[in-house]
Structure formats: C-alpha cells, structure tokens
Amino acid sequence: MPRTSALPLARVASGLAGGALLSMSLGLAAQNLPVSVLASPNVDLAEPGHVRQIVKQGDGQWMLVGDFRRMGATARIGIARLQADGSVDPSFVNLADINASLVEQVQPLSDGRYRVLSINRVQTLLPGGAVDPSFTSLLFNPTFARSMAEVDDGFIVVGNFTQVLKTPATAVARIAKFNGDGTLATGFTFGLSGNAHVVRATSPTDVVVGGNFTSAGGQARTALARLSTIGAGTLAAGWNPVLARVGGAPLVEDIVVVGDAVYVAGRFDSVDGIARSRLVKLALADGAVDAGWNVSVGGAQTTALRLAVQGDHLLVGSGQTQSFANPPAAALLRQVARVSLATGTIDAAFNPLYGGAGTPTFAAAEGDVPSRVLIGGNFDQVGAVSRFGTAQLDATGQLDPLSGHAEAIDPGSVARVAFDAANRRTYLTGSFLRAGSAARRFVLRLLPSGLVDSAWRAQTDDRIRPALAIAPGQGVFVAANFGVARLDEVEGNLMPGWNNSFVANELVVGGDAVYALSFNQLVRLPLSGNGSADPGFAAILGSSPGGLAYEALGNSLLLTMFVAQPGGGSQARLVRLDALTGAVIPAFAPLLETNAGVVGAQGIAVDGDGLWVAGNFTRVNGVPRASPVRLMLADGEIDPAVAPTFGTAFNNGLGFNRGYFYGFLTTSGGAIEMRRMPATGGEFDAAWRLAVNGAVNSVAFDGVRLILGGDFDRLGVGPSIRQGIAAVLEAERIFADDYE
C-alpha cells in the first residue's frame, strides 16, 4: 500500500541522544496511514538447510534436493544446481509448484530435463527449471512415494501407495510403471505385499527393489526382489536372497548397483543364513552373498543407513557414530565409513566429523575430483568449523578449505521477542544458528541500531526456540534444558548464585519474581533469591496450561488450561491466579466456548482493568463473540463498552499497545495478514494491515515500533525481505531515530 503522507520518514536531528524517540503530530490520524516495513532491524538469521540427495552429473555439476530455501546467498527452494566450481548455477531456477519438504529424489535425464519425485507426485522440469508442459503430473494415494528408477521405456516408482490418482483412479500395489510422458503403463501389473523404500535399475529392463515386504509378484521374498519391467513385470525367479533379523522383520533402506554387484544396506543380521549385520554385497547374476566381502555395522539398528559411490569405494553413513568392522581388522567408530567396493576393507584414514544441534543425516556424491566427496545433511558444523548443509571433504574426511561449494541454508525463525525499554535493546530467541556471519545459537541481542550486539553472547545450552523474559537491571532469563538460566546484561554470562533445574516452556517477569511454566507446573522464582522456587507459591494446574501473562494492577497471573468438570470431562478455561500464593481468584471465571481456547503466544494481553483474548472460541460466557474479546479482570465478564468483533476474526493474538490489540489472521484467499483492533472494538483498522508470508510468533512494543518475530522471510506490499525479525511503525507520523 503506498504512503499517504507527503512528508518522508526521517531521522530526528543528530544532536539528540542516540536512540531517542519522538512522536510528532503531522495532523494525521495514525489509523489512516499504511504500514511500512522499517529498514532496521534487518538481520540475516540463518539455520542449516537439509540436503537429502546429491547427484553428480556427467558434466561435473551437482543437483541437490532437500529442505532449504537458499544456497549460499542465492534463493533456491528445495532443488538447486551447482556448477563445477561449486557455485550456484544461475541458469537453473526451480519454477515448479514443488513443496521442498516433500521432495525425495531428482533424476537427471539424458535430454537435459529432470524428473522430480515428491512423496505425493512426479513432475518433470525443463533444463532451466521450468515445468515441462509435455509431462503428465502424477499423484499418489496415499502419499509416500519413496524412490524411482529409469528403464528403457519409462520409469518405475515405489513406495507405500495403493492408487495412482488419475481419472479414474487406478489401483496399484506399492509399485507402478509409467511411460516417459507420465502416463500410466497400465499393462504393468506387478505388485508388492508391503512398503517399498528404494528401487535401482540393474539393466535397461530390470530393477531391484528393497523395503519391508514379504512377497513380490505373488511369491515369497524377504524385503528384497529383482524383476523385469517388460510387459506385466516378471519376478527374477532365481534371485532370492533371504534376509533375517533377530527380534523383528528385515528392512532394506538403500541399494547401489555397481558393475556385477548389488550393495544392500538395511536392518538385518543375516542373508541366506550367513552372518551379515546391516550391509551385504550380492552377485547381480544370482543374488548370492559375496563371502569375501564382510562389513558389519554394530549398535542398535535404529538409524537408517545411506549409501553412495565414490570412485572404487562405497560410502556408508547415517550421520550418527556407528561401529564399522571388517574382520579380522579391529572395528572403527565412524559417522561415515569409506569401504572398498572390491574387498570391503575400511579406509582407516577417512574419518569425517560433522554434526550440530539436531541428529545429523547423510547424503553424498563424488566431489570435484575423485579423491574428494561432497556430503549433505542437516549439519551445522564440520570439525570445529561452522558449515551448513553441504561440505566438500578431502581424502581424510576433513573439510576442504578451498572448496567453493555453496551452503544449504534455511532462514532462521524467531520464537520470542522482548524489548528492554531502559536500554532500548531487543532480545530474540528462535531456531537460528547465525546472525549474519556471527555464530549465535538460539539467543541473541540487538543494539538500538538494529545490529547484532557482538559483546553479548548468551551462555546457555542448545535448546531451540527457548522461552525468554527480561528484568532490566536484574538479568535476562532463558528457559534452557538445564533449567531457567539467569544471564547478565553485560556479556550474557550465567550469573553466579542462581541455579535451578526447572525446565520451562514459558517465562514471564512480574513484580519481584520470574514465573516459569512447564507442562504441568508453575513456579515462582524470586529475583532476590538463588533460583529456588518460592515454597509459599502453590499453583494447582489443570492439563495443557499455557498463555502465561502477568498483570500488575492486581498482581496476578493469567493463563489457560483444561479444568476438570464436576460431571466429568474437562473444559478449556481462562484462569487468574494470585501472583504471591498461586491461589485461583474465583471471581474471575470466563467461559470460552465450545471447549475452545486462547490461541497465540500472546493471545492474552492486559489492558488496564481488562484483558484482550484471542482464540478459536465463538461464544464467551454464553454470548456469541468472535475473536478478539475484551474481558474485565474483576469478574471475567465481557466489557460492555467494547463493540463485538464482526467480520473475519483473529486466528492468533499478538498483544495490546496504545489503544490497539494486534493479531494475525488468514484471509479467505489464504493470505496471512497482521491486523489490529481498536480499543472500542467492532471492525479491524481497515488501513492498518501487513502481509506476512508466514507466522508471526511474538511482538514487542517500544512506544513507536512493533518489533515482529516469527517464521517469515517476506512481509509488506513490496514485499520486503526479512529473515524472522522486522519492525514496523505504529503510525508514520512518528519519527524514529537510529531505525530509519
């Protein structure tokens, strides 16, 4: 929406103290002005993307598939092509309607096109990334198509689907054959008795399939089968390796075919009665176990193994440390083992170390020369070096310092925002691991200028998206895995003399205490204490408590929970507790119907002697009411001075400030907008709306701006690119020094 003011947004005179904020009337009402996204803060919050597949092409380029939104600084969603030097290929841009989180596999075709398998469909892209209009898009029911392989007259797809959704829908049994243009090869009627996870071509007309099925083509098979794809499909009768697993059914997770051998990874203990732990080499001709190739993977069979070929070696990994043995040599602990394709000998010198906050996963392809390997996953470091999603390793598995390969990156999200009015600093928590080029793990502070405060580094643990509360002059409180951490405001270090092990989901500072809420407990931690819970505070909670808020007028706490009813069952209730004792204040007893609740991290917002509530209710105290509604703190009754909400209701509440309650909603067209309701109720402010391409999780108010944190990377009508954190003015009649 264009600006209506003829006066530009400008800085206050430079003689004013940095960070000073002035409100200057220009004769315009705030609600009559559009919302503009401020230039600051504009921090590149980032976290690792997840690369699930890497394909090395014959021209030296790589295709990468997974959950990511950028490769380096270049926007690429789910599919990217890297050039031979590792840089992003500008000539390939995924223009298809492909959900990055659903992509399973990309298959380069001989004519330069790409076949893309998602869990629910197959599409074909032209060499530059546009959708191929000549290809019939396929849909599967249920979803979870897992793998595909090209054959001479089409391609095979396997998974756990039982229908191909065309008109009419065609029944299949977890495997289907398609012609090159995407039409179903109806003459192919082969079926599997259980789910399939992987299919690999062994010749132009044959494939080998692995999964957890017990029969293929009507004949007994234990998770592994080879078949001809000609005509109706014919099982290779003499190819029948029998996999067995102690305590469970065998499962095949990955397969590679090299020359006259088939390498199989999965969850099994023996093949044809010969001991083989999770890995086996089979003859392509007859499926016989290679007696001289014996590589075993120890430990619990709980993580999926993935295979890749690097020259004359097989790479085997899951991302987690495993015990790899090739008797009689001693077992080696490795995240990824490099094994000779011919002998099974494990390369003792190859020992990559990568990981991060989550459980790392593994994908790989040959690097820019045969001695190097390009790996992918969801890691955020290789060795001691910060590295997101992709990395080229040298011959020993160490990070190649000269690699030019772009990293796989997701925009970091923000879960909570808190503003320190005394020092004009903003605190964030979220899923991010970097802010610009600086490492910041899940907690950071911004200076009044909107830049990252390099001097303040939170000394906490790796809890993602932790709750946060600040008590200016007293400390910054973060809900860590080890307890509620109290950090100083100088460097972010843990403050001595404060210790507890309470694992909280929500925090709020009120009066002289910080209140910490878990799934089933609410405690009061006095600011003057040592972190121990106040024994005089005894809150009795129902189930699923949440939405914790503090109100100073009556020194009370507000939250929602499911409360047991006398006649049985439970009811979602909004309750008010005495902040000193935890006792329920019985006079406050609003009823949100029907069995509905408050929605949003800030779905409860105190406003003087009342509070605003946003949620999925349609009735309040028996009276029809859409979200939001203002209730009186004294008794929980609807404020009669506030007109009922009409029109579209808020999906989530985001707080009250200076005469407006803010929230966001999904429009009838599916767009997400941030809106505000005036204190008088009725309609939303028609001129104040902000388009957001994701959720707004938290809002802080500094008297001039709204500081937004959430899961978004674009907002406004521009739209402006912002990675999880942004600010907008309440009204453009306000000048904001240091921010614009």
At residue 342, the pLDDT reads 97
Q: Are 96 and 116 in contact (CB under 8 A)?
A: yes
User: Which two three-digit tokens encode residue 624?
Assistant: 């029809």
Whole-number Å distance between alpha carbons of 183 and 176: 11
pLDDT computed for residue 423 by the predictor: 93
Q: What is the pLDDT of residue 35?
A: 84
- Distance between CA 522 and CA 529 in Å, rounded? 17
pLDDT digits (tens, 9 = 90+) for 238-260: 999 999 999 999 999 999 999 99
**pLDDT for the residue numbered 599:** 56
Does 195 have pLDDT greater than 80? yes
- Are residues 733 and 24 in contact, defined by beta-carbon separation less than 8 angstroms? yes
Q: Tens of pLDDT along 640-649?
A: 999 998 877 8
Residue 600 pLDDT: 52
Of the candidates 418, 420, 427, the residue with the CA atom closest to the CA atom of residue 457: 427
Q: At 32, phi and psi to the nearest 5? A: -95, 10
Per residue in 124-183, pLDDT (tens digit) is 999 999 999 999 888 999 989 999 999 999 999 999 999 999 768 999 999 999 999 999
Identify the CA nearest to 81 among candidates 35, 127, 142, 18: 127
Contact 53, 102 (CB under 8 A): no
Pairing of the two strands 154-159 and 695-701: unpaired
pLDDT at 29 over 60: no
The more confident residue out of 526 and 67 is 526
Predicted pLDDT at 103: 86
Distances from the Cα of 688 to the Cα of 3, 24, 411, 441, 581, angstroms = 12, 19, 26, 34, 41
pLDDT at 319: 84
Is the pLDDT at 11 greater than 70? The verdict is no
Q: What is the pLDDT of residues 264-308, one digit of tens each?
A: 999 999 999 999 999 999 999 999 999 999 999 997 778 899 999
Given a contact cutoff of 8 angstroms between Cβ atoms, the answer to whether 504 and 511 are in contact is no
- Residue 726, SS3 per DSSP: strand
The pLDDT of residue 79 is above 70: yes
Burial state string for 354-363 with b = 16 or more CB within 10 A and e = fewer than 16:
bbbbbebbbb
76, 408 in Cβ contact below 8 A? no
Would you list the DSSP string of 616-642? S-SEETTEE-PSPEEEETTT--B-TTS
> Would you list the DSSP string of 128-159?
TS-B-TTS--EEEESS-EEEEEEETTEEEEEE
Residue 595 reports pLDDT greater than 70: no
Q: How far apart are CA 677 and CA 686, in angstroms?
A: 9
Encoding tokens for residue 457? 């580094």
User: Can you tell me the mean pLDDT for 116-122?
Assistant: 92
Are 164 and 186 in contact by the 8 Å Cβ rule? The answer is no
CA distance linking residue 502 with residue 549, whole number of Å:
19
Query: Which amino acid would we find at residue 668?
Result: S
The pLDDT-based confidence of 364 (bands split at 50, 70, 90) is: very high
Angle (CA) 361-364-369 rounded to 5° is 150
Length of the chain in terms of residues written: 740
Compute φ and ψ for 31, nearest 5 degrees. -75, -5
| Distance, CA of 376 to CA of 41 (rounded, Å) | 32
Q: What span, in angstroms and rounded, lies between the C-alpha atoms of 628 and 642? A: 11
Q: Name the DSSP letter for residue 118.
A: E
DSSP state string for 487-540: E-TTT-PBPTT-------SEEEEETTEEEEE-SS-EEEEETTSSSPPPTT----
Residue 567: per-residue pLDDT: 80
Cα of 78 vs its chain's centroid, Å: 13
Q: Two tokens at 159?
A: 């998974």
pLDDT at 12: 24
| Torsion over CA: 427, 430, 436, 440 (sign) | positive
* Distance of alpha carbon 482 from alpha carbon 467, whole angstroms: 13
Listed in sequence order, the residues at least 6 apart from 533 whose beta carbon sits closer than 8 Å to its beta carbon are: 500, 502, 523, 524, 525
Instruction: Give the 3-state secondary structure of 448-465.
Output: CCCCECCCCCCCCCCCCC
Tokens of 74: 């270049």
Q: Which of 109-123, 413-427, 586-600 has the lowest mean pLDDT?
A: 586-600
% residues pLDDT > 90 (the chain): 74
Task: Locate the DSSP E strands across 353-400.
Answer: 354-355, 363-366, 373-376, 381-382, 385-386, 390-393
Q: Is the per-residue pLDDT at 10 higher than 80?
A: no
Q: pLDDT band at 561, cuts 50/70/90?
A: confident
* Average pLDDT along the chain: 89
Classified as helix, coil or strand, 599 is: coil
Residue position matching structure tokens 């999200």: 413
Mean pLDDT lowest for which of 23-32, 308-317, 382-391, 607-616? 23-32
Copy the structure tokens of residue 72: 């380096």
Structural domain spans, the chain: 136-240, 413-434+442-517
Q: Residue range 109-132: average pLDDT? A: 93
Positive or negative: CA dihedral 28, 31, 32, 33:
positive
Q: What 3-state DSSP class applies to 32? A: helix
Tens of pLDDT, residues 448-501: 999 999 999 999 999 999 999 999 999 999 999 999 999 999 999 999 999 999
Q: Are 548 and 515 in contact (CB under 8 A)?
A: yes
Neighbours of 563 (CB within 10 A): 15
The pLDDT-based confidence of 28 (bands split at 50, 70, 90) is very low
pLDDT one-digit tens code per residue, 685-701: 988 989 998 889 999 99
pLDDT at 360: 86
Q: Is the pLDDT of residue 87 over 90?
A: yes
Burial zone of 54 (CB within 10 Å; 0-12 exposed, 13-18 middle, 19+ buried) = buried
How far are the Cα atoms of 336, 460, 480, 531, 538 from residue 486, in angstroms, in the given order?
39, 9, 10, 8, 22
DSSP per-residue codes, 37-98? B-S-----EEEE-EEEEEEE-TTS-EEEEEE-SEETTEE--SEEEE-TTSSB-TT----S--
b or e along 146-176 (b: 16 or more beta carbons within 10 Å of the residue's beta carbon)?
bbbbbbeebbbbbbbbeebeeeeeeebbbbb
For the segment 570-581, the average pLDDT, to the nearest whole number, is 90
